[in-house]
Chain A
């Protein structure tokens, strides 16, 4: 079989992810085939034909082959699954609440507080924060809240650590709970700028739309060093009865 110049990586291997490995092996095989068909040496091939003979259609065929194997992509941006429902896992993942397998759970105490989650505190505040849980996971929900207004005392429960999905309504929330990211993610940066109490990287379970929750925003803010050393600095979340 024809060798590519980069096939002989002494210390190489293949990517960790089976999907990434499959795509990269397929692309390399495509390059190998076109290189062989060209009859050129590598210098001549990479200096010219490689950009003519490896086309967008060729690479689309690799995507099609992966889907033909039965694989369906997980989505991060909603638009991806909306535009290609045949290629992505369903949008049903956006329905309902969060149910993290590692979320801590304790029965309600004498004050009616039941532990239901932990996260990374963005800024250590002077007081904990109480509010009503409101899931925000899609553009349609954002548009509805733009039109109707965010009810006072709402705590956004979101899985988008970015700063764009909730851009028009973010400032109206009394607190933020995000199932992803770190305290330095865009949402964490914005929470700090707005002065909105915020927990990131949250493991949460058992909180439904409209539940009253208490965020331990008096906990120490998670530091950069703690991420580098993988040291937990948990701030707790309770559901209130």
Chain B
């Protein structure tokens, strides 16, 4: 089953290990806080914990190779430029937390099952964390932080000019008026659809911001993604009436402060955001092939109201059809949809780089698949709880004087790379590349809905590779906020 792995020992420096361990710790701190304070999930429909553990394993075995494939086409920092400028699904929750954390939690799980030493796959770990670091630094370049947690739970991704544009284009909303009612219904309906699309996860929804508009009003950007027949196979023939794969709502809110926008893209506000505080709204679509955010139904307040109502109707109809499809699925199909939703949370990096392949992103690798028989509901619920919350697995115990951030206990979420490899300790550099896998779900149709119409995969990848949006051409991309503030300096 396994391809032979090169016995060559890669050169790894002390500085590389120190930096990688710092990045691992940043993910660990973020993971613990998010898992403890943000959520307790349970579902009568989906075996959630079982699919999460399977997704972690799939991520561990496959992400390093797929990241190398993506970066052979486009480096992480350029992918982040595209994501920031274009609003596609390479947002904070997808890359900021999930990409490194799914991979590292898969590694942690396998260490506890005896399959790995902490130093095994060391080159893979460095590859994943280095990709993540460069993506994050570019994605957050306007605020200069690595994560939202570093910025006291805030995500000011957009440059000043973009905030000005969204603020200037939005339509005013009167509480209780037609646009207000339509907006609230749309936000609820598309959120509901998004949870179903992503198999009982919040992967299809994220938020960024806030941005100060006035002393009493703020802008929050709300993204709803993977809504159409684009890259999730279970939406084939279900989402054919959804005209947009991604929608972004620019939301002006008056009288409440968004004090938290976390690395899962969730928001909290003081006081609680309620519909009567919505005072402005804009609606946009975007994807890998668009020149950034394209207005949707924005001509007048009336056309926007009609568009929101129409999209709500379509999302509601698609929700009912998709739910009935899922209600008939077997446990293996439900697990695959959930595991692939999770695992493929960062698939947009392959779309942006023009190298998307369903065999890479929509299959369970046989090395992960072999664990499926262990993943009963009870085992998966308790094992996942111990892995991300209880921190009771053997690899997560530290010396008794330790006081972990947030809990003060001698525990940790993730195991660092051991420095002993610098003294000659043996290690396996890389895991073998992805192996031909499968899924219990139907294969993806060769139909990819984009802002340029429905394309085949070959057309989509080719178009993505050929396209450089104006905002990402060097003359525009590197006119950063500092350069704009000193217009005489770049001549």
Q: Encode A33-48 as 1/0 by CB contact (under 8 A) with B.
A: 0000000001100111
A154 near B: Cβ within 8 Å? no
B268: A residues at CB distance < 8 A: 224
Query: Which residues between 255 and 274 of chain B lie within 8 Å of chain A, taking CB atoms?
Result: 260, 266, 268, 272-274
**Is B274 a contact partner of A189 (Cβ separation < 8 A)?**
no
A24: B residues at CB distance < 8 A: 112-113, 383, 393
B376 near A: Cβ within 8 Å? yes
Pick out which of these stretches binds chain A: B142-150, B195-203, B283-291.
B195-203
A152 near B: Cβ within 8 Å? no
A153 near B: Cβ within 8 Å? no
Pick out which of these stretches binds chain B: A98-106, A111-119, A161-169, A204-212.
A161-169
Instruction: Please report the C-alpha to C-alpha distance between residue A80 and residue B50 in the assembled complex, in whole angstroms.
Output: 11
B214 near A: Cβ within 8 Å? no
**Is A162 a contact partner of B45 (Cβ separation < 8 A)?**
yes
Contacts across chains A and B counted by CB atoms under 8 Å: 269
Query: Which residues between 1 and 60 of chain A lie within 8 Å of chain B, taking CB atoms?
Result: 4-7, 9-17, 19-20, 23-24, 27-28, 31-32, 42-43, 46-52, 54-56, 58-60
**Is B334 a contact partner of A77 (Cβ separation < 8 A)?**
yes
B471 near A: Cβ within 8 Å? no
- Contact partner, B376, options A15, A80, A160, A227, Cβ 8 Å: A80
CB distance from B225 to the nearest CB of A (A): 16
- Contact partner, B426, options A43, A50, A194, A195, Cβ 8 Å: A43
Q: Encode A181-205 as 1/0 by CB contact (under 8 A) with B.
A: 1101110011011110000010000
B137 near A: Cβ within 8 Å? no
Evaluate whether A73 and B376 lie within 8 angstroms (CB atoms) in the complex, with A160-B44, A162-B200 already known.
Answer: yes
**Is B117 a contact partner of A42 (Cβ separation < 8 A)?**
yes
CB distance from B437 to the nearest CB of A (A): 12
**Is A55 a contact partner of B370 (Cβ separation < 8 A)?**
yes
B161 near A: Cβ within 8 Å? no
B33 nearest in chain A by CB position: A228
Evaluate whether A143 and B114 lie within 8 angstroms (CB atoms) in the complex, with A17-B386, A160-B45, A170-B192 already known.
Answer: no
**Is A23 a contact partner of B374 (Cβ separation < 8 A)?**
yes
- Contact partner, A182, options B40, B334, B428, Cβ 8 Å: B40
Instruction: Please report the C-alpha to C-alpha distance between residue A180 and residue B43 in the assembled complex, in whole angstroms.
Output: 10
B432: A residues at CB distance < 8 A: 51
CB distance from B391 to the nearest CB of A (A): 10
**Is A164 a contact partner of B397 (Cβ separation < 8 A)?**
no
Evaluate whether A31 and B41 lie within 8 angstroms (CB atoms) in the complex, with A20-B382, A56-B373, A73-B378 already known.
Answer: no
Number of interface residues of B (CB under 8 A): 88
A79 near B: Cβ within 8 Å? yes
**Is A20 a contact partner of B395 (Cβ separation < 8 A)?**
no
Q: Encode B366-408 as 1/0 by CB contact (under 8 A) with A.
A: 1101111110111101110010001011110111100000100
A23: B residues at CB distance < 8 A: 374, 379, 383
CB distance from B337 to the nearest CB of A (A): 10
**Is B1 a contact partner of A52 (Cβ separation < 8 A)?**
yes
- Contact partner, B117, options A5, A49, A171, Cβ 8 Å: A5
**Is B41 a contact partner of A186 (Cβ separation < 8 A)?**
yes
Instruction: Please report the C-alpha to C-alpha distance between residue A185 and residue B42 in the assembled complex, in whole angstroms.
Output: 9
CB distance from B188 to the nearest CB of A (A): 4
B113 nearest in chain A by CB position: A27
**Is A123 a contact partner of B192 (Cβ separation < 8 A)?**
no
B48 near A: Cβ within 8 Å? yes
A178 nearest in chain B by CB position: B42
**Is A168 a contact partner of B320 (Cβ separation < 8 A)?**
yes
- Contact partner, B374, options A12, A46, A59, A80, Cβ 8 Å: A59
**Is B195 a contact partner of A17 (Cβ separation < 8 A)?**
no
B383: A residues at CB distance < 8 A: 15, 17, 20, 23-24
Query: Which residues between 308 and 333 of chain B lie within 8 Å of chain A, taking CB atoms?
Result: 319-320, 323-324, 326-327, 329-331
CB distance from A33 to the nearest CB of B (A): 11
B49 near A: Cβ within 8 Å? yes
A139 near B: Cβ within 8 Å? yes
Instruction: Please report the C-alpha to C-alpha distance between residue A205 and residue B196 in the assembled complex, in whole angstroms.
Output: 30
A78 near B: Cβ within 8 Å? yes
CB distance from B165 to the nearest CB of A (A): 26
- Contact partner, B40, options A10, A73, A138, A181, Cβ 8 Å: A181
Evaluate whether A31 and B115 lie within 8 angstroms (CB atoms) in the complex, with A55-B370, A63-B373 already known.
Answer: yes
A127 near B: Cβ within 8 Å? no
A145 near B: Cβ within 8 Å? no
Query: Which residues between 344 and 382 of chain B lie within 8 Å of chain A, taking CB atoms?
Result: 366-367, 369-374, 376-379, 381-382
B37: A residues at CB distance < 8 A: 184, 224, 227-228
B187 near A: Cβ within 8 Å? yes
Instruction: Please report the C-alpha to C-alpha distance between residue A54 and residue B368 in the assembled complex, in whole angstroms.
Output: 11
Query: Which residues between 73 and 98 of chain A lie within 8 Å of chain B, taking CB atoms?
Result: 73-80, 83, 87-88
Instruction: Please report the C-alpha to C-alpha distance between residue A9 and residue B395 in the assembled complex, in whole angstroms.
Output: 7
**Is A79 a contact partner of B42 (Cβ separation < 8 A)?**
no
**Is B1 a contact partner of A51 (Cβ separation < 8 A)?**
yes
A62 near B: Cβ within 8 Å? yes
**Is B191 a contact partner of A193 (Cβ separation < 8 A)?**
yes
CB distance from A167 to the nearest CB of B (A): 5
Evaluate whether A51 and B44 lie within 8 angstroms (CB atoms) in the complex, with A23-B374, A62-B374, A184-B266 already known.
Answer: no
Q: List 23 A-B contacts (CB under 8 A).
A: A4-B114, A7-B114, A9-B394, A11-B400, A24-B113, A31-B114, A31-B115, A42-B117, A43-B428, A54-B370, A59-B370, A79-B45, A80-B331, A87-B376, A160-B42, A164-B196, A165-B43, A167-B193, A184-B266, A189-B202, A190-B192, A194-B188, A227-B36
**Chain A interfacial positions (CB closer than 8 Å to B):** 4-7, 9-17, 19-20, 23-24, 27-28, 31-32, 42-43, 46-52, 54-56, 58-60, 62-63, 73-80, 83, 87-88, 123-124, 137-139, 142-143, 146, 159-165, 167-168, 170-171, 180-182, 184-186, 189-190, 192-195, 201, 221, 224, 227-228
* Known A59-B374, A76-B381, A79-B47; 18 more pairs at CB < 8 Å: A12-B397, A16-B392, A23-B383, A31-B115, A48-B5, A51-B432, A54-B115, A56-B372, A63-B376, A75-B377, A139-B44, A163-B195, A163-B196, A167-B192, A167-B323, A193-B184, A195-B188, A224-B260
